[in-house]
Each structure stands twice: as C-alpha cells, then as structure tokens.
Chain A
C-alpha cells in the first residue's frame, strides 16, 4: 500500500512537470503547426537562468522564477521574429532541421557559458522539507510541482476559453486566413502565444529541475518525451495534454519502480499502443 501511494505521488508529480513543459509545445504545434524540437532547449534556458539568479545573484526563489521566465521570453522573442517566422508554412522536414539546429546552438552555448556539470536550483526552506498530509508525508517540492501543474492547467483553460485573447487564438487556429480577414492580427497572436509557450517551458524547466536535472544535453534528452506527450494528447488540446501526462507519467514511473531492468520499454510500448488506437491523440480534433 505504502509503495502504491509513493508511486502514485511520484507519477503525479512527474506527470505535472511534463504537463507544464509540454503544454507550450502542444500550443505551438496546434496553432502554428511547427514541429518545434527546440522547445526543451527553452525549458533548459529557464532552468539555467533561475539557477544563475539564485546561486550567483542571490535573488529569492520567487523573484528568480519570475526573472528566469521573463529572461527566457526575452531571449526567445528575436529567435521567433528572425527564424521561426520563416518556417511557419514550410514542410515538416525543414522545421525539424531548423529547430534541431537551434537546439544544437543552445546546447553548445549553454555548455560554454555554464559548463557541462549539473546545475541545481536551491529550493527555499518552505519547499525543501517533507510535508505531512496526515496519513503520510511527501516531499514538498513534489507537492509544489503538482500544484503548479494544476494552476497552469486552470489558468490556460481560462485564458483560452473565457478571454478575448482566447477567442482570437481559437479563431486563428481554426482558420488563420479567415481570422485575419475579420481583423484579427494573426501575427501578433502567433507571437504572443509563442511567448506564452516559451514562458511555460521555462517555468516547467524550473519547477521540474528536481526531477529533470538541468545540464547542457537536457534539450536533447527530454525532447522526445515532450514530443511524445503532445502527440499522445493531441496537438493543441489542453485536456488531452493533461490526460497524456497523467497516463504516461503513471506508466513510466510504475515501470521504473517495478521493472527497472526494462528501462523505458513499457513506456514506448504504451506510446505505440495509444498512437495506433488514437491516431489524432487522446483528445485531438479530427
């Protein structure tokens, strides 16, 4: 029973971290139809900036999170303007080539600036201890990750479904030329949602730093995982991404606990089964 609970908590925490990072990728893919393999690179940049802010500048944790997310968006904005805009309507293969190139550059630069070692983001006291839930205690940072995941899901749902910006966003997703003809500035909508996506990636990279440690090859190592989450959930679907993260987080964590010698065998088996059964993703639209 005890182990079932700890697997469940770990799976939930891992799933939520995956969600916070991948939901931005799901947005870019659903909206702009860009296979953005550099998404993990932006999560990594967020982690590095937060680590630098806390350890070298001595800023508080919350301020560091805000600074790092803002910093990542500032770094990403010119990249969107100069590079991504040229590949929005290009074939998939060109997008893969460009975004892998960007990922390589980010890895190389991170390696040069911060060195090849793991970087930690020291947690504030409130998050570093265990939390007593009455029936058992769990690590506070895992609880924090779970709460962050739920908060991001709720906030995004509100933004997309209940605000004027959300209306424009959905209109641009469904039919960009028609939305533009009706006066929606699709380019600004694209730029804004790209910024939100990158900001979420950075936030997820920071919150998940305990589970997915920050190092230069982070961007390549977890790239596949994020891509898998998006395709299993269905690109552009918040609920789908949430469901996919919970299912895949559960499969992966259970596999690691019970049959560690098989590595990620069952994770990928589950991926193949789900994608074959739901070619558009769990909650993707036809």
Chain B
C-alpha cells in the first residue's frame, strides 16, 4: 500500500488519529507519570526536571521535523538561546522572578528560531542538515566569544531565581522546579495539541507531504514554515529557561551539536509526527542512558548504539509509532 497515494493522504487527514477525549487522557497520563516519577525517584528530581526540559526541546524538534518535514541537527541553538536568555535576564538584569525568566527564555528561543529558520529553510536535503549544524556551531562559538555576557566556557552562574509566586522557594531537592516543570509541560502540551489540530497545523502536515501542491493551493510554504520555526523556538526556549532555573547554571553544552543530535535521535526513537512520540522517546532515552551508564560505565555507549540500531531494524516508526500501528491493526481485525 502506497502511503503517498492521494486517497490515502486524504483519508489520513480526514480521520484525526485521536479524538478530543484522547487529549484529556494524554494530559492525565502526563500527570500520572509525573506523580509516579516523584514517588519513584524522590532523590533524583533534578534528573527528572532535566528530562522535562529536554522533552520541550524534543517537542520543538518534532514541530519542525515531524510536522513540517524539515530535518535539523541544530535545534539546540533554540534551546540554548532560551537558557541563556533566562540566565542573562537573572544574572545581568536582576529579573529573578521564575515566570519572567521563563518568558525571557521563550522570547530568546523565538528570536533564535527566527534566525535559524531564515537560514535553515534556504537549503534542501543534505544542505539543510548541514546549515542547521552550522547554525548551532555558530551560536556556540559566538556564546564562547562574548564571555562577559555568557561566562564563556566556565558557564553562566549567579542565577538565583526568587521564590515562585513569592511563596515557593527553589529548594535543594528541586521539588519546586519539578512541579514548575510539570505545570509548564502540561500547558505546553495542551497548547501544542490545539496547534496540531488547527488549520495551521494541518497546513504544516500538508507541506510535509507535498510542498508543491500546498504552494499551488495558494499558501506560502516559506512563511508557514518560518512561523512554525518561531513557535518551535518558543517551546525550546521554555525548556531552556526551565533548565536554567532548575540547575542555576547555563553551560556551552546547551548550545552543542551533540545535544541537537541527541534530541533528533530521541525524537526518531519515540516516533516522529506525534507529540506522544517526542515525550516517550525522550523519557526512554534519558532514563535508559542514566540507568545504563550507572550500571555499566564501560559499555554504556555500545549499548546505546545497539539500542538505536535495534529500533531501526525492529521498530522503524519509533516506539510510539510502532505501538500505535500494532494497536490499530489489532482493532481493525
């Protein structure tokens, strides 16, 4: 069966994969996993908060890669820009209110998304991939050069967020940061679900499937993709800002090619084109990495590599995509 056949494409668009009630199930599942995570790892909330920050980054990669079909290996530029924007707001301008810092992160991410989008969208295929790598490395070198603002390779310190709503201080165990992270994730997830079913989201999916036809229908492909890049930047920026608040330091590694590549790997691992895939991929990858590197520090990279190869061989649509496919098949029988 040809997935690109017009009839099948139309059928996919006409039949939303999840009904509105499934949205609430999704939100409830995030909430339930958050409680389970809190109960299972009460001493490791910092790791869980970092996972939430990276989930935002992977969701933002999903917006441009999974929804619009723009391959990118440079999305950490958006995440890092958000982290530095939040960190610089706190360290240099005295804006220590966590909500304001998150807003600064979203704004920084949006600006970085605009710049990245302007450059990356000029290329196609391999050129696009390389442009995105060049962008993240350019951001990295620039942040390293303006050390008076970013702290250079030592990292940006002196980030001391004030208590959330003036009441809940950021404690040593990271409980406040974790709850803030979960709240942000639920809000972002809810908004992105709306976005993915809006006419704008449909247009983006249409561009992934056939940009020429979308252009022929009268929509501007470039403008739509650029808009999506800015939205994606805001999501990644919120994640970066959250990371800056919870660790109280921003390092150059948040602007690295490695982080960008990892984010893409997590997304493909979970399954592209679905918000659930992005979340599941990130959680599985990061918890697996944490577990394996603690259990066997000598072979963890080999095991991670074998996991990736195994996913390509046995679950080419990613964990969530393949599971959804199996479920679908069983239901039709």
CB distance from B287 to the nearest CB of A (A): 17
Residues in B with CB closer than 8 Å to A93 are: 65, 71, 264, 268, 272
Q: Is the Cβ of B71 less than 8 Å from the Cβ of A92?
A: yes
Q: How far is the CA of A268 from the CA of B119 in the complex (A)?
A: 12
Q: How far is the CA of A164 from the CA of B302 in the complex (A)?
A: 41
Residues in A with CB closer than 8 Å to B272 are: 93
- A228-264 CB contact bits vs B (8 Å, 1 = yes)? 1011100100000000000000000000000001111
CB distance from B227 to the nearest CB of A (A): 21
Interface presence of B307 (CB below 8 A): yes
A interface SS class: helix
Q: How far is the CA of A35 from the CA of B132 in the complex (A)?
A: 15
A residues 104-118 near B (Cβ < 8 Å) are 104-109, 111-112
Q: Is the Cβ of B301 less than 8 Å from the Cβ of A265?
A: no
Interface presence of A189 (CB below 8 A): no
Q: How far is the CA of A265 from the CA of B146 in the complex (A)?
A: 12
Candidates B133, B144, B313; contact of A227 at CB < 8 Å? B133
Residues in B with CB closer than 8 Å to A147 are: none
Q: How far is the CA of A39 from the CA of B172 in the complex (A)?
A: 44
Residue of A nearest to B66 (CB): A93
Interface presence of B122 (CB below 8 A): yes
Q: Is the Cβ of B261 less than 8 Å from the Cβ of A100?
A: yes
B residues 233-269 near A (Cβ < 8 Å) are 257-258, 261, 264-265, 268-269
Segment of B43-51, B135-143, B157-165 engaged in the interface with chain A: B135-143
Residues in A with CB closer than 8 Å to B261 are: 100
Residues in B with CB closer than 8 Å to A185 are: none
Asked whether A227 and B309 contact (CB < 8 A) given A90-B316, A97-B265, A262-B145, the answer is no
Q: Is the Cβ of B302 less than 8 Å from the Cβ of A275?
A: no
Q: Is the Cβ of B269 less than 8 Å from the Cβ of A97?
A: yes
Interface presence of B27 (CB below 8 A): no
Interface presence of A96 (CB below 8 A): yes
Residues in A with CB closer than 8 Å to B307 are: 101
CB distance from B311 to the nearest CB of A (A): 7
Interface presence of A271 (CB below 8 A): yes
Q: Is the Cβ of B309 less than 8 Å from the Cβ of A83?
A: yes
CB distance from A93 to the nearest CB of B (A): 5
Interface presence of B312 (CB below 8 A): yes
CB distance from B241 to the nearest CB of A (A): 26
B residues 118-154 near A (Cβ < 8 Å) are 119, 122-127, 129-131, 133-135, 137-138, 141-142, 144-145
Number of A-B pairs, beta carbon distance below 8 Å: 136
Residues in A with CB closer than 8 Å to B257 are: 224
Q: How far is the CA of A107 from the CA of B258 in the complex (A)?
A: 15
Asked whether A261 and B122 contact (CB < 8 A) given A108-B302, A112-B299, A272-B134, the answer is no
Q: Is the Cβ of B138 less than 8 Å from the Cβ of A231?
A: no
Q: How large is the interface on B (under 10, 10 to 19, 20 to 34, 35 or more residues)?
A: 35 or more
Asked whether A264 and B268 contact (CB < 8 A) given A98-B312, A279-B127, the answer is no
Interface presence of A67 (CB below 8 A): no
Residue of A nearest to B305 (CB): A104
Q: Is the Cβ of A276 less than 8 Å from the Cβ of B131?
A: yes
Q: Is the Cβ of A275 less than 8 Å from the Cβ of B127?
A: yes
A residues 64-87 near B (Cβ < 8 Å) are 83, 86-87
Residues in A with CB closer than 8 Å to B188 are: none
Interface presence of B308 (CB below 8 A): yes
Candidates A108, A231, A265; contact of B145 at CB < 8 Å? A265
- A266-277 CB contact bits vs B (8 Å, 1 = yes)? 001101100110
Q: How far is the CA of A227 from the CA of B134 in the complex (A)?
A: 11
Candidates B125, B133, B311; contact of A97 at CB < 8 Å? B311
Residues of A within 8 A of B (CB): 29, 35, 83, 86-87, 90, 92-94, 96-98, 100-109, 111-112, 220, 224, 227-228, 230-232, 235, 261-265, 268-269, 271-272, 275-276, 279-281
28 residue pairs from A and B, CB less than 8 Å apart: A35-B126, A86-B312, A87-B312, A93-B71, A93-B264, A94-B316, A97-B308, A97-B311, A98-B312, A100-B261, A101-B311, A105-B301, A105-B302, A107-B301, A107-B305, A108-B303, A112-B299, A224-B133, A235-B126, A268-B137, A268-B141, A272-B131, A275-B123, A276-B119, A276-B122, A276-B131, A279-B122, A279-B124
